[in-house]
Structure 1
Amino acid sequence: MKIQMFLCFLGLSFHGAAAVSHSLKILFIGPFPVQNLPGFIILVLVDDVLMTYYDSNITTMVPRQDWLKEVVDEEFWKSYTKISLYAQQTFIGDIERAKQLYNQTEGVLVVQLMCGCEWDEETGEVKGYSQLGYDGEDFLSFDLKTESWTAANQFAEIMKHQWDNNKPFNAGWKNDLDEIFPKWLKEFVNLGRRFLMRTVLPSVSLLQKSSSSPVSCHATGFYPDRADLFWRRDGEEIHEGVKKGQILPNNDGTFQMSVDLQLPPEAETHRYECVFQLSGVKEDVITELEKEQINTNEGLKPPSWKIITGVVVAVVVDVVAVVAIIVYYRKKGQSPRSRTEVELTQMSA
């Protein structure tokens, strides 16, 4: 696809998570087959926090974090809007040509592209990646060492040969992944270091639907997302009867997670405690399991935590896009982060 020019400019975003690791993800999704939602979406994320957003309905690139407004001016967003419009036209045009190439003139075709880089600030190591998904399945991934594309199936071989025969096209990708993305990432990590390198402890709640239901320990509002949440009995971590949820983004750039505990019959609750650990913070947040501290919804309206509160944001399409990415990877039995850590052979509303 002819999007290197766009990516060179869009590569600005940040990933500040814990002490030394940073990563940039640029996501393209289209055409998005949901009525009343935009057909094309661009997301720029740092550490799975949505930083900038564009879609074909608003046709404007906008910040999703308040601090971004302080470090760039209005002209910046205008210029990025023009670049985003160009990317939209190019992306959709390439999809239409692909449909002709594969003789798929009817039905819905959804293409997902994720590209970006990871940077270890301590070692200086940089890893760039680009992964193309086709209708929810892996399709093509770029191999930086060979400067060629790897086809995930026979269906992708046609496009692989076309792109591999275009040497300038692949050289452009290599330059983006090796040079452009890391350069922008490092510059913006420095600009937003105070925000990106902060640590924020969560509020922790104990939740239970009924007296026979599992007790959920829910931590929300923490940052960064390098965290753990688990149950202990008599000071020892337990795994039996425990179900741990994924770390999910909140709309304010923080995160949430939960871990459920199915208590044995006649369990002595005072022996149990929920423990939250955050990277970079020495002391744990410990919540003792006391019956009077458990919030239940017996006879009451189901509490808001039943819905994933962190993804109920003001702009619904932001969430739809992020969830679409998460569903894409769950379908394959992998998390977006685990695929990133193995160089994405990988995509991640």
Structure 2
Amino acid sequence: MQSLLLLLLEVHLAYAGTHTYQYFYTATSGLPNFPEFVAVGMVNGEQINYYDSSTMEALVKADWVKGIVDPTEWKNIWLGTQQWYKASVPILKNRFNQSDAGVHTVQNMYGCEWDDETGATNGFNQHGYDGEDFLNLDLKDLRWISPVQQGLITTQKWNNNKANLEGRKQYLNTVCIEWLKKYVQYGKSSLEKTVSPQVSLLQKDHSSSVTCHATGFYPSGVTITWMNNGQEHHEDVEVGELLPNEDGTFQKTSTLRVTPDEWKKNKFSCVVEHKGIIKEENEIRTNNGNSLPIGIIVGVVAAVVLLIVMAGIGYKIYQKKKGFKPVNGSDDGSNSSAHAEPHA
């Protein structure tokens, strides 16, 4: 779960000069206490809205978004969208020859990116099923491709829908970019804010590992390094995943396995670098009992919710960087606009 969560969080990292606008749709079956459909929108890694099929209400999640879009517009779109995704779950279960038992998920991640320094833009649209790649829209050749045999039926069908393909191309290359620029302009003060991390050394008891906890920082890029007598120390170090805090900031940990004798005889310290600011901590704050700091607990809970909503995609947005390998088939051509037919 941690490695998948890390991949998902990497999806949202906003780098200098690059802005992203993404939507994550998740349809599930086999989770009785979880909505059958969830939609989440994000700009530069910050959640801007939320919708699920249980409440059937679209919520604004970032204050600076209020007044830009009427939430009822999102709601009207997603009321119809959820039916499409819910219908896809049983279709894909049948395609993969699966029974009704167990948990199954259908995901879609789409959006665009814009580099405000170079002007370069890019669009992406990917589908996942049960944590694996299922479909990817190749914008250059304007066609859907699939890495699995079960996806060929869908690619052949969708690639024959030229109008749908052209519509998706228009949205990703033009409409999405226009909205991204609008959101970046309206949310400039929030999206470009910088908050330095708070750094603590934590230890359950004197024989436990020592954890360096950096929290409350924004944006998400941070480096945690252990030092031993003035030299970088990499042995017996486990770096934790990046976790979101409820207030939109982030937290991260790095744990050093060290004996009390080693700690006593050496000068260990944790160095955290964020946006050019370096903080160093060498004094342990021991926790009583086995409880974790409340900040870590809240971050883990938030991350698990994020994982349930968006997980299952199991791949980074930019498959082109490592190569998205399609299954050979007779599908050539294009497809895509707003919503295609279910995966049938």
Q: Which residue of 2 aligns with 1:271?
A: 267
Contact 2:37 2:52 in 1 (8 A): yes
> What is the Cα deviation at residue 131 of structure 1?
0.8
Residues 1:197 and 2:181 are matched in the alignment: no
Kindly provide the amino acid, as one letter, of the partner of residue 28 in structure 1. Y
Number of aligned residue pairs: 312
Q: How does 1:56-75 map to 2 (within 5 A)?
A: 56-69=53-66, 71-72=67-68
Task: Supply the AA of the counterpart residue of 2:77.
Answer: I
Match of 2:85 among 87, 91, 108: 91
Unaligned runs of 5+ in 2: 1-11, 326-344
Match of 1:177?
172
Match of 2:261, SS? coil
Equivalent position to 1:143, from 133, 138, 141: 138
Deviations along 1:112-166, one digit per CA (max 9) or x if unpaired, are 1101112211111112111100122110101011101111111111111111111
Counterpart-to-counterpart distance in 2, 1:303 and 1:277? 23
Q: CA deviation at 1:25?
A: 1.8
Cα distance in 1 for partners of 2:309, 2:78 equals 20
**Separation of aligned partners in 2, 1:325 and 1:341:** 24
Which residue does the alignment assign to 2:219?
A: 224
Structure 1 residue ranges, 4+ long, deviating more than 3 angstroms after superposition: 15-19, 93-109, 304-308, 325-329, 339-346
Pair 244,220 (structure 1): closer, same or farther in 2 beyond 3 Å: same
Q: When the two structures are superposed, what TM-score results if normalisation uses the length of structure 1? A: 0.80
User: Which position in structure 2 is the counterpart of 1:10?
Assistant: none
**Aligned 1:230-269 pairs, distance under 5 A:** 230-264=225-259, 266-268=261-263
1:184-236 deviation line (CA, Å, top 9, x unaligned): 11111011011100100111121112222210011111000111112112333
One-letter amino acid matched to 2:287: T
Equivalent in the alignment of 1:324: 308
Provide closer, same or farther for how the CA distance between residues 47 and 94 of structure 1 changes in structure 2, counting only shifts above 3 A: same
Tell me the distance in 2 between the aligned counterparts of 1:341 and 1:235.
Answer: 40
Q: Tell me what 1:342 maps to.
A: 321
Query: 2:148: which partner in 1?
Result: 153
Aligned to 1:6: none
The structure-2 alpha-carbon separation of the partners of 1:327 and 1:44, relative to structure 1 and needing over 3 Å to count, comes to closer
CA contact (8 A) 1:17 1:197 kept: no
After superposition, the CA RMSD in angstroms is 2.8
Compared with structure 1, are the counterparts of its residues 131 and 84 closer, same or farther at alpha carbon in structure 2 (3 Å cutoff)?
A: same
- The CA distance in 1 between the partners of 2:226 and 2:172, in whole Å, is 41
Inter-partner Cα distance in structure 2 for 1:101 and 1:190: 44
- Percent sequence identity is 35
* Residue equivalent to 1:296: 287
In structure 2, do the counterparts of structure 1 residues 134 and 225 end up closer, same or farther at CA, with 3 Å as the change threshold? same
Secondary structure at the counterpart of residue 226 of structure 1? coil
Q: CA deviation at 1:85?
A: 0.9
Q: Is the 8 A contact 2:85 2:106 kept in 1?
A: no
Partner of 2:334: none
Unaligned regions of 5+ residues in structure 1, if any? 1-14, 314-318
Aligned mates of 2:48, 2:319 — CA distance in 1 = 18
The equivalent position to 1:27 in structure 2, one of 10, 24, 29, is: 24
SS in 2 for 1:284: strand
SS in 1 for 2:262: coil
Contact residue 119 and residue 125 of structure 1 kept, 8 A: yes
Secondary structure of the corresponding residue to residue 32 of structure 2: coil
TM-score normalised over the length of structure 2: 0.81
Q: 1:222–1:256: 8 Å Cα contact kept in structure 2? A: yes
* CA drift at 1:18: 4.8
Of 149-158 and 257-266, the range deviating more from structure 2: 257-266
